[in-house]
Structure 1
């Protein structure tokens, strides 16, 4: 009887210790079982991928391959906790293209959602270098971490721009739609996808009736080309024009997966650990140290919370009437 009592007390102690132990991250719970050549790219240095990001990206890809939803030999991952703009025109590499059958690993730059500052109501804006705010609300222009599958590619005419004293070029921008699930399920509704980080500024209308893109009055938009690879996006994943061309060609009619870290559970766990003064590594969590030092603590804005705020703000601050695009001055 005494032995049975001792064993019962011992069992209860084990249960209590397990309940009091800090939660472990996905990375801490599962061993990283990857080929040696790929493991060489795992780390927190420039151009490397952290263990938790790779593990989740591989798991998503393998799941979709097993379901028959994906046959592409390559898959993507992004670590949105890393910095984007390193200053002096240098961009950090935090978007990953991984092709295991070819033993190919490539890290490139990618923008993050800029968010918005609703003056006096809510500020969920992000700087150029690091993202503090994440969310999945409509019109929030925030990045949402989680699982995606690439969809169809569309092309849209943006206008003309000057490339030399006597030559103009046309900007037709490609856009890869993303489809998600769970918190990313509204990706199509939000028009979230990937595209080159380029647009036209200072647009005016120029008379060019011979252009196949001319409107019924014979005008086409004309502006100044801007590459904003070092800036922010409207929540989409933006790449440099050169990188975008290569990535879009990879997924055209051949979908693959993209895992963006962090998701809301990661964000909330990190925020709690920071508030409690805990070491992230000590509790099995990950966030890029440089950006965490800058933002102090991340925040996730769920659509259930943010969309009503955005709706009220839009009602109280109606957009001004859109001015017609001006006619270009003679050049």
Structure 2
């Protein structure tokens, strides 16, 4: 008769130990800490320009704290992006929707960032995005879409793009850095998709200029020469693009010191918002978030999973083979 109370007591203690262990796990700890936003950071939470939505901050903090607790990163700062906010505000103004948060230094910075432009496969599927707001999201290869979710920054690569004129007698070289992102879950194919962050700049109207002594000259002694274009207010191929000045700061922060990036929304958010809009219900009543201005513009968002979209893109490529790549022309006067 005395054995039964003893077994009951042991069972209670064992159950309590399990609960303590679960609460001490990195994921549970991160989730718990994510709701405990410090007072100095709370003043930046909101829907106004330069502010961060609470759900975006909570998820970004949870991801960062999880990776910190398991030793995956040590960087004192982390990133977040709200891809539901507008990018191009008009009159040359850009929406600030990429966030650099350093809690140790109590610093918060909101900057601009581009979203994936998507594609319009004429007559088959239209998943293109405008410059201001993103309606379509996805993780398919060659879709040029932004995929929301969890990322960790990785190595930085550089690529030589060519030369451009900066004054009547001076040229400069464009060597563009690229920070590779590694994802997990739906974003696990980030490396396969070559998803990362880079300055929003490129060379247009490229021709080949004779420069046999140039360190980057080809076997015939030519180097690419073009016009430098900055497109911070434009779209990307699915990567995160920043203005050149902001990119320099961010890339320096993660050099040999990886950190986390959480991009909102993920597919579950998009699906929930789309269903709520279709039902004619208010997002706030359903406990959901989307930037109100962009939601009015796009009507309802859509997520294109790779399982659905990749076969469509593959068939389109088969039916519409790319024309042979032409040779880059020689610059006039060469």
Q: Could you tell me which residue of structure 2 aligns to residue 239 of structure 1? A: 242
Q: Deviation of residue 33 (structure 1)?
A: 1.2
Q: Deviation of residue 236 (structure 1)?
A: 0.1
Q: Could you tell me which residue of structure 1 aligns to residue 261 of structure 2? A: 258
Q: Deviation of residue 122 (structure 1)?
A: 0.2
1:237-282 CA distances to partner (integer Å, 9 max, x unpaired)?
0000000000000000000000000000000000000000000000
Q: Could you tell me which residue of structure 2 aligns to residue 83 of structure 1? A: 86
1:205-238 CA distances to partner (integer Å, 9 max, x unpaired)?
0000111000111000000000000000000000
Q: Could you tell me which residue of structure 2 aligns to residue 97 of structure 1? A: 100
Q: Secondary structure at the match of 1:101?
A: coil
Q: Secondary structure at the match of 2:50?
A: coil
Q: Secondary structure at the match of 2:104?
A: helix
Q: Select which of 117, 124, 127 maps to 2:127.
A: 124
What's the C-alpha RMSD, in Å, of the aligned pairs? 1.1
Q: Matches of 2:121 and 2:34 in 1, distance apart? A: 43
CA contact (8 A) 2:34 2:59 kept: no
Q: Could you tell me which residue of structure 2 aligns to residue 160 of structure 1? A: 163
Q: Matches of 2:34 and 2:178 in 1, distance apart? A: 36
Q: Secondary structure at the match of 1:102?
A: coil
Q: Deviation of residue 32 (structure 1)?
A: 2.9
Q: Could you tell me which residue of structure 1 aligns to residue 294 of structure 2? A: 291
TM-score, reference length from structure 2: 0.90
TM-score, reference length from structure 1: 0.91
Q: Select which of 318, 322, 325 maps to 1:322.
A: 325
Q: Secondary structure at the match of 1:214?
A: coil
Structure 1: runs of 5+ lacking an equivalent: 1-28
Structure 2: runs of 5+ lacking an equivalent: 1-31
Q: Could you tell me which residue of structure 2 aligns to residue 173 of structure 1? A: 176
Q: Deviation of residue 30 (structure 1)?
A: 9.6
1:73-125 CA distances to partner (integer Å, 9 max, x unpaired)?
00000000000000110001000000000000000000000000000000000
Q: Matches of 1:211 and 1:247 in 2, distance apart? A: 30
Is it true that 1:310 corresponds to 2:308 in the alignment?
no
Q: Matches of 2:257 and 2:165 in 1, distance apart? A: 34
Q: Could you tell me which residue of structure 2 aligns to residue 282 of structure 1? A: 285
CA contact (8 A) 1:47 1:107 kept: yes
Aligned positions of 1:207-226 closer than 5 A: 207-226=210-229
Q: Matches of 1:64 and 1:32 in 2, distance apart? A: 17
CA contact (8 A) 1:99 1:105 kept: yes
Q: Which 4+ stretches in 1 moved above 6 angstroms?
A: none
CA contact (8 A) 1:197 1:239 kept: yes
Q: Secondary structure at the match of 2:80?
A: strand
CA contact (8 A) 1:32 1:51 kept: no
Q: Deviation of residue 31 (structure 1)?
A: 7.8
Q: Deviation of residue 151 (structure 1)?
A: 0.3
Is it true that 1:229 corresponds to 2:220 in the alignment?
no
Q: Matches of 1:264 and 1:253 in 2, distance apart? A: 31
Q: Select which of 273, 276, 281 maps to 2:276.
A: 273
Q: Deviation of residue 292 (structure 1)?
A: 0.1
Q: Select which of 47, 51, 55 maps to 1:52.
A: 55
Q: Matches of 2:221 and 2:34 in 1, distance apart? A: 62
How many residue pairs match? The answer is 303
Q: Select which of 149, 158, 164 maps to 2:152.
A: 149
Q: Matches of 1:278 and 1:106 in 2, distance apart? A: 33
Q: Secondary structure at the match of 1:310?
A: helix
Q: Matches of 2:314 and 2:34 in 1, distance apart? A: 44
Q: Could you tell me which residue of structure 1 aligns to residue 65 of structure 2? A: 62
1:17-37 CA distances to partner (integer Å, 9 max, x unpaired)?
xxxxxxxxxxxx998311100
